[in-house]
Structure 1
Amino acid sequence: MTEEKSQLKKFLEAISVLQWVLSFLLLGAACIILMVYLMFTSLWPLSALYFVWLVMDWQTPERGGRRTTFVRRWRVWEYFRDYFPIKLVKTADLSPNKNYIVGCHPHGIMSAGGFACFSTESCGFTEAFPGVRSCMAVLAGLFKIPILRDYLMNAGLYPVSKPSLVHLLSKRGKGNAVVIVIGGAAESLASSPGVNAVVVKQRKGFVRIALEFGADLVPVYSFGENELFRQVILSEGSVGRRLQDLFKKIMGFAPCLFVGERFAVLPYRTPITTVVGSPISVPKCVSPTEEEVDHYHTLYMEALTKLFHENKVSCGLSESHELRIL
């Protein structure tokens, strides 16, 4: 590749990541502001018609959404993948005759590895797991934001709510891999370079859902995810941390204080390797007991720990690195 082409490719990679970061940070607010602004202009009928459509379409995200292959295969996601780069590693087959709940760790600041591997086709999920459809579930509140909700649905994203998960695991046949970033906002606050910590000890709802529908559990770990940004970690009990926790409790996500490598916005060009573990066979129990939930939750944490230790060296960590389960 010539020097000019190399520079152009790096520029396109940076632009693709920049639009993703800005979408993550600002698109929701921008969509709300736009719709409100239009109400006070001559274009107010467009805004009014959209809100009528919004009311009629309100339940769609929890009823399978409007996934389109077109958005998932945008060329921009290939540049996004190559910026870091991001690689998907398969360690076992997933049968298209089963449904799965895939636990993705760690959250990091923005879950770049999970997004690239499970919400786009840039990392080859369909080729790696033929007949299996990845369905990434994210914060349900995002699907209440006008315009943004339609964009998310077209990308094959779903609300991480009980009705949505029930629909994906019971109304869509087999071969569904529902991807949940288990640690959520709490895990994002623990994200920092050199740290390998996952919040899962008290997160058991995903195991209960798996038992109710007989969906196998699959652990996933994205090595390098926590290296993308430098986060200001506020000490427990500090005013700043209490405000973060309060915001997280009200809004469902935490405002992280972080910096990247360019203009403090772009993430560092750190390789991410998303390793998909072996499925844990889960029986169908319509009304699982606490003992059954605890049993499979323990099996999941053991499988996640094993996955981490078996792949940490090949993914750039030293033998001394440990996985902290919070």
Structure 2
Amino acid sequence: MPCLKQPTHFQSLILLQWPLSYLAMCGRHSAWVRNWCAWTHLKNYFPITILKTKDLSPKHNYLMGVHPHGILTFGAFCNFCTEATGFSKIFPGITPHLATLSWFFKIPLVREYLMAKGVCSVSQPAIDYLLSHGTGNLVGIVVGGVGEALQSVPNTTTLILRKRKGFVRTALQHGAHLVPTFTFGETEVYEQVLFQKDSWMYKFQSCFRSIFGFYFCIFYGRGFCQGSNGLLPYSLPIITVVGEPLPLPKIENPSREMVDKYHALYMDALCKLFDQHKTQYGCSATQKLLFM
């Protein structure tokens, strides 16, 4: 059986990406780490690109919703944690931070590695710090979280968002602009085995999450040999579209009604962003975003 030629260094890239797919105190950017040539190989494998629809002014801070989670969040990692797709040139004056589980910051060396890429904890104190110290900070939160990862299968556009309103409250408290993003192709690069909620495997996955903070997903992609299955992702395009920022007033103690109002505006903006670009990036004209 003939073996496919793999991109240079790709096996090592997967090993580096593995803990970062579920990433995560406040990231200390290292231009050297963010510009490793390994990230360029990763970008070219799929390839991964970022599309700007509006400028982001360095005079403001931003809270960015990252959708969907996918299995390993390749798009958000490559676009916001590295310079492989040229983030600093596309959004000059903006410092990106991708929030992830605080659990990873308890591991020596892994903690320093994540922080060098600008990754921050998804804890409230870390996000409050970044949004209250200076301007030009952009904090990305994968709003659907690990629950969305468990539903990640090709050709799905279902997001866990309807009851996730904490990020809107935080944005209001700091007067940060909300930025919707959608990554087309994120759910296409892996297949996942899904289990019924009454099955023992689903119960094991739930137990695993209660202990470690994320689900034990059973997924597969391509292997090293043609026609075989393995853990390598399919080399399909991943495109992150960054939408227009939604300005929010600064309210120290926003009411529930105020949070609901801007949450609804955010969902509308996300739907419009998806509808404007879906046919260009592989979705049908009739496909809609579904919120859980």
TM-score range normalised by the length of the shorter chain: over 0.9
Check conservation: 1:13, 1:83, Cα contact below 8 A.
no
Give % identity. 43
Determine the C-alpha separation between the residues in 2 that align with 1:191 and 1:160. Answer: 21
Work out which of the residue numbers 16, 20, 38 in structure 2 matches 1:20.
16
Aligned to 2:123: 161
The Cα of 1:21 is off from its aligned counterpart by: 4.2
Consecutive unaligned residues in structure 1, runs of 5 or more: 1-6, 29-60
Distance 1:313 1:78 in 2: 27
User: Hey, what's the Cα distance between the residues in 2 that align with 1:237 and 1:290?
Assistant: 35
Larger relative contact order (C-alpha < 8 A, sep ≥ 6)? 2
SS at match of 1:225: coil
- TM-score of the aligned structures, taking structure 2 as reference length: 0.92
Q: Which residue of 2 aligns with 1:216?
A: 177
Q: Deviations over 1:129-152 (max 9, x none)?
A: 111111111111100112211111
- In the TM superposition, residue 196 of structure 1 has moved relative to its aligned partner by 1.1
Does residue 1:296 correspond to 2:251, yes or no?
A: no
CA distance in 1, matches of 2:285, 2:9: 32
Task: Map 1:1-326; keep pairs closer than 5 Å.
Answer: 10-12=6-8, 14-24=10-20, 62=25, 64-171=26-133, 173-262=134-223, 264-326=230-292
**Equivalent residue pairs, number:** 284
Distance 2:248 2:21 in 1: 37
Contact 1:21 1:266 in 2 (8 A): no
CA RMSD, 1 decimal: 1.9
Query: C-alpha separation between the residues in 1 aligned to 2:204 and 2:247?
Result: 41
More divergent stretch after superposition (314-323 vs 245-254): 245-254
Q: Deviation string for 1:169-227 (max 9, x for gaps)?
A: 012x0011101111110000110011111111111111110000000100100000001
Q: 1:264 to 1:213 in 2, by over 3 A?
A: same
Q: Using a 3 Å threshold, how does the CA distance of structure 1 residues 278 and 215 change in structure 2: closer, same or farther? A: same
Whether the 8 Å CA contact 1:119–1:135 is kept in 2: the answer is: yes
Distance in 2 between the 1:275 and 1:240 partners? Answer: 35
Deviation at 1:245, TM superposition (A): 2.1
CA contact (8 A) 2:18 2:72 kept: no
Q: Deviation at 1:233? A: 1.0
Indicate the structure (1 or 2) with the bigger Cα radius of gyration. Answer: 1
Letter in 1 for 2:202: R
Give the counterpart letter for 1:117 in structure 2. Answer: N
1:306, 1:65 → 2: CA distance? 31
Measured in 2, the distance between the counterparts of 1:206 and 1:248 equals 22
